[in-house]
Chains A and B, each alone.
Chain A
Amino acid sequence: MPRVEDQQIAAVISVLVENESGALARVIGLFSGRGYNIESLTVAPVEDGGARSRINIVTMGTPMVVEQIKALLYRLVPVHKVSDLTQLGPHVAREMALIKVVCTGEMRSEALRIADSFRARPVDTTVGSFVFELTGASEKIEAFIELMRPLGLVEISRTGVAAIARGTRTI
């Protein structure tokens, strides 16, 4: 079994940045320049009438690397706050996916049945296709995708993870 220091852990990190040109490039450059991986990244203005954006990053690394990533993010000049949601306790992490399935006959009702049990909504329907909209934890989306694959899945569009701490705590 690998030592604790060598184990890969997943981390969901939220970053509040000044909404200026280049801020996102700095964050991405930090990961690519040092060979850290980004599993998912989302960004949108959230505060101060759009003057600040929130970036949510899902990454993997040894505990030392995750600490390093946080320190490096915090070091960026336009960064206001860095918060490691995984470490701070319970949090909610959700993403939205649009999934296109092309099928006919039996397969259509099977697709609809599965979609229903996942609370995925068909947001576009034609004689030969569906586009389902699904929101949830990444694992739920993965599971849905796997079930749709044999039913004619042709295209996936995912937003990446948005995350927030549970309870009263804020970033």
Chain B
Amino acid sequence: MNVATDPKDAVHADMPGSSALNGAEVLMRVLQEQGVEVVFGYPGGAVLPIYDALFKQNSVRHILVRHEQAAVHAAEGYARSTGRVGVVLVTSGPGATNAVTGLVDALMDSVPIVCLTGQVPTHMIGNDAFQEADTTGITRPATKHNYLVKRPGDLARTLHEAFYVARSGRPGPVVIDLPKDIMVGPAPYASASSAPHRSYRPASEPARAAVAEAVAAMRRARRPLFYTGGGVINAGPAASEALCRLVRMTGFPCTSTLMGLGAYPTDDPLFVGMLGMHGTYEANLATHGCDLLINIGARFDDRVTGRLDAFSPGSTKIHVDIDPSSINKIVQVDIPVVGDAGRAIAMMIEEWENGRGSEREALAGWWRQIDAWRSIDSLGFKQDQAASAIIKPQHAIRRLHELALETGRDTFVTTEVGQHQMWAATHFQYRKPNRWMTSGGLGTMGYGLPAAVGVQVGHPDALVIDIAGEASTLMNIQELGTIAQYRLPVKLFILNNRYMGMVRQWQELLHGSRYSESYSEALPDFVRLAEAFHGTGMRATCMGELDDVIRAMLAHDGPVVADICVAQDENCYPMIPSGAAHNEMILGEAQAGQAAKITDEGLMLV
């Protein structure tokens, strides 16, 4: 149905009880109907009608960020921590192009986002009009799907559809480009349709036969390993609970990718740590040596597999994934199970309960082997306990975890990208899903602070900490303004090693210690920076100050920037260099001696 564009209708739209709405008001109604509580955005000419409609209602809250990239990361943090769709509103041209990094980030990490972009009026599209950009063209490879609304009659349906596409199947970002005339002119409202989508109908129910085959393989397995990923988090908290039941029921060891942390409690004895490039020794050797690899919601990323032809060479592989294009994309698997991780795990539990248990003796032997690997404590490091000693970043994170635990508060961690991110993944513990927000696939420096904004907006009473590096932090530092405006008590915990540490580490290991441009020169005074943004700044320069600073930070009810001055030369170990196999891991000084021996023995055993 197309409504004639009559300016008189637009006037009526403001009158109470009038059924004629303009496009922007239709948009607001769709947001309400979709249950949207909050929109992260930044205004501009092309979206002024939307901001006007926003002003006239009070069911949808708007959080004004300080950069459009941050709007998307905030929406990602909100989405990943609440399980809802994150909504973004930005203007045309530079507003849309600034959002692109965030969109690709959400695409890579499968985060449901609806991003509304302003556009020049339909009759000016293609004229190189002021602040015109080919937003649908630019964002086509940056989104799961995108739309340009050209007719008022399509508006409501398209908006509802965008929410459906963003959250269903493998979630992802969806852009809707909204020309200004469509927002100003009248448009008909339509409720979300209950009819199935014309073409997009992702299957979420796994085939029973495939699950039965998987479970049969699990019963036979002598050296099984669960390899779980972000898909379990995407499947909702019930999927994580089911995963815990399944793992405990089978007694199999469980490892996780960076994106899956928290689905299974990381401090549980059956958890062998994260796998991959910076994963634990035991997780990687177990991956290498297992005879059955049970991948649930992970995508065989190159940070995980290392050299492909040496990846888990002797195992039968099960792969549960909702996206059929993830199956056999990188690693050929033996038992594909296409569907939702939560459903697949529930079905595995049913199947498992209907038969005999595991190969008990073989499993006990497998655990002895894993415990031997574990005993070298691959994440171990040497911390001098003297009050004047330099703080090791790993130690700072462990203390942060312990002291946060003491507060008894629900704690959410976001990170930036670099060494601190890997240490946050391995030295902080996650007992529940949706508590760990990081940029995995794109590895976007500057993700953590805006993501923390989104998390805190979604969980006003929770403890939200961005574990950051000093270089990454500066990429979206302007968000301290957002944090101040909305009085968000976000804690920015900077592990300041005065280096782009991850870059420095690669230069040390691969480029003869030529530290080309990786020193963090001319850093701001983070304490005064915090104060300039109406927050509280703190600094710890040595061991004697660390606990006090962490305690004071956790006790403070407003935003805090804690500048933790840490060892400058610490490396992130263990490490599987790019292109190496899992059993070619580099270990830290603390373990180097024993490792070689255990590797050889380990390889003989498995």
Contacts and interface: CB of A to CB of B under 8 A. Distances in A.
B199 A18 contact: yes
B324 interface: yes
Interface stretch (B136-144, B354-362, B426-434, B574-582): B136-144
A19 B342 CA distance: 35
Interface in A11-41: 17-18, 21-22, 25-26, 29, 33
Contacts of B199: 17-18, 77-80
Nearest to B201: A80
Contact of B328 (A25, A68, A77): A68
Contacts of B144: 77
A6 interface: no
Interface residues of A, number: 21
B412 to A, nearest CB: 31
B329 A68 contact: yes
A47 to B, nearest CB: 12
Contacts of B25: none
Given A25-B140, A80-B199, A64 B323 contact: no
Contact of B327 (A21, A33, A71, A80): A71
A23 to B, nearest CB: 10
Interface string B317-341: 0000001110111001000000000
Contact of B198 (A18, A21, A29): A18
B168 to A, nearest CB: 10
A7 to B, nearest CB: 15
A70 B329 CA distance: 11
Given A22-B136, A25-B140, A64 B332 contact: yes
Contact of B140 (A5, A26, A78): A26
Nearest to A78: B199
A25 B327 CA distance: 25
Q: Which 3 A-B pairs have the closest CB atoms?
A: A71-B325, A77-B145, A80-B199
Given A22-B140, A71-B324, 9 more contacts: A5-B332, A25-B137, A33-B141, A64-B332, A72-B325, A74-B324, A75-B325, A77-B165, A79-B199
21 contacts: A5-B332, A17-B199, A21-B148, A22-B146, A22-B148, A26-B140, A29-B141, A64-B328, A67-B328, A68-B328, A68-B329, A72-B325, A74-B324, A74-B325, A77-B144, A77-B199, A77-B200, A78-B199, A78-B200, A80-B198, A80-B199
Interface of B: 136-137, 140-141, 144-146, 148, 165, 170, 198-200, 323-325, 327-329, 332
